[in-house]
């Protein structure tokens, strides 16, 4: 066993965890799906592309001391694959997932379970800011409202008939979000409950402007997998095993929340 830690990434938290662990001398391999054309790379070794399902991931866990699933809260397939492959191979698994957003006084939030439900809720709007990412936009294709679609890379059709694409990568500032919504006369915002500070400015801007927000609920987490809410909790989980057992597997304990 090499004692290597595999971090399933694609989030700022995954990058920060890799930075933290590499600084401690841990052998880290970060994995990216390859969805973004020009990703910000973490330190340590990086691999790009799918593993080929749970069997492929299980094979990739050979020689891996611990697996941290730090993928996005909506990367449900990868999270399920991680749980299955870790259980099949006996690899300790931690899910690193930032908390969701919390409604504050002055917010007008409407919760839905899917992008399709979100599209139904905003069907009567005039101008919609869609910040759910490049994938799944087909759910909004039937909208007749003006849609401002913001994503890191250009979205692919099908898109709503009247779409303005805004290419941008967070973090975003509240004043810029207010300006974007005002310029396009946005009367509703659609977002996933991604959580975290990088993309939260739109929620503040919507509150300031009295614009309602439709939030898509997160998919559930696999049962029995310990969850860390912060990079530091995840680093402690990895390093505890590292220090207690040298280069062997860390204990699969539940992190304090």
Q: Is 52 in the site for ligand NAP (CB under 6 A)?
A: yes
Phi, psi values for residue 110, rounded to 5°: -125, 120
Determine the interface stretch with ligand NAP among 3-11, 84-92, 106-114, 168-176 (rule: CB under 6 A). 3-11
Q: Is 18 in the site for ligand NAP (CB under 6 A)?
A: no
Determine the interface stretch with ligand NAP among 37-45, 49-57, 208-216, 218-226 (rule: CB under 6 A). 49-57
Least distance to ligand NAP, CB of residue 184, Å: 22
| Beta bridge partners of residue 94, listed in sequence order | 68
Phi, psi values for residue 147, rounded to 5°: -120, 125
Q: How many residues bind to ligand NAP according to rule CB under 6 A? A: 25
Beta strands in 88-243 (DSSP E): 93-96, 109-112, 127-130, 146-151, 163-167, 188-192, 213-216, 227-228
The answer to whether the beta carbons of residues 59 and 81 sit under 8 Å apart is: no
Q: Is 77 in the site for ligand NAP (CB under 6 A)?
A: yes
By beta-carbon proximity to ligand NAP, the closer residue of 132 and 163 is 132
Q: Is 72 in the site for ligand NAP (CB under 6 A)?
A: yes
Q: Which of 241, 196, 198, 192 is nearest to 94 (CA)?
A: 241
Residue 238, class by beta-carbon neighbours within 10 Å (0-12 exposed, 13-18 middle, 19+ buried)? Answer: buried
Q: Is 204 in the site for ligand NAP (CB under 6 A)?
A: no
DSSP 3-state of 94: strand
Q: Is 98 in the site for ligand NAP (CB under 6 A)?
A: no
Determine the interface stretch with ligand NAP among 46-54, 107-115, 206-214, 242-250 (rule: CB under 6 A). 46-54
Q: In this chain, which of 3, 42, 133, 250 binds ligand NAP, going by CB under 6 A?
A: 133
Task: Find the helix or strand (DSSP H, E) in which 179 lies.
Answer: helix 174-183
Site for ligand NAP in 139-198 (CB under 6 A): 192
Task: Find the helix or strand (DSSP H, E) in which 67 lies.
Answer: strand 64-69
Least distance to ligand NAP, CB of residue 256, Å: 24
Q: Is 78 in the site for ligand NAP (CB under 6 A)?
A: yes
Q: Is 51 in the site for ligand NAP (CB under 6 A)?
A: yes
By beta-carbon proximity to ligand NAP, the closer residue of 11 and 127 is 11
Beta strands in the chain (DSSP E): 4-8, 28-32, 45-48, 64-69, 93-96, 109-112, 127-130, 146-151, 163-167, 188-192, 213-216, 227-228
Residues binding ligand NAP (CB under 6 A):
8-11, 31-33, 35, 50-53, 56-57, 71-72, 74-78, 81, 133, 135, 192
């Amino acid at each position: 066993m090499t004692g290597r830690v595999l971090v399933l990434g694609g989030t700022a938290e995954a990058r920060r965890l890799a930075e933290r662990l590499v600084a401690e001398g841990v052998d880290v391999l970060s994995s990216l799906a390859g969805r973004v054309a020009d990703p910000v790379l973490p330190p340590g070794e990086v691999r790009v592309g799918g593993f080929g399902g749970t069997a492929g991931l299980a094979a990739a866990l050979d020689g891996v001391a611990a697996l941290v699933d730090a993928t996005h809260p909506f990367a449900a397939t990868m999270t399920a694959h991680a749980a299955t492959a870790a259980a099949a191979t006996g690899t300790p698994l931690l899910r690193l997932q930032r908390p969701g957003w919390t409604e504050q006084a002055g917010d007008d939030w409407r919760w839905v379970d899917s992008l399709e439900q979100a599209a139904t809720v905003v069907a009567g709007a005039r101008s919609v800011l869609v910040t759910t990412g490049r994938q799944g936009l087909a759910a909004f294709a039937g909208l007749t409202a003006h849609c401002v679609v913001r994503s890191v890379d250009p979205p692919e059709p099908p898109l709503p008939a009247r779409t303005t694409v805004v290419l941008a990568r967070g973090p975003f500032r509240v004043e810029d979000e207010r300006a974007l919504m005002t310029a396009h006369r946005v009367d509703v915002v659609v977002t996933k409950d991604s959580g975290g500070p990088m993309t939260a400015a739109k929620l503040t801007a919507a509150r300031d402007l009295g614009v309602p927000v439709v939030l898509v609920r997160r998919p559930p987490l696999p049962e029995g997998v310990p969850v860390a809410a912060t990079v530091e909790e995840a680093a402690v989980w990895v390093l505890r095993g590292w220090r207690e057992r040298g280069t062997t597997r860390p204990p699969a304990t539940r992190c304090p929340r």
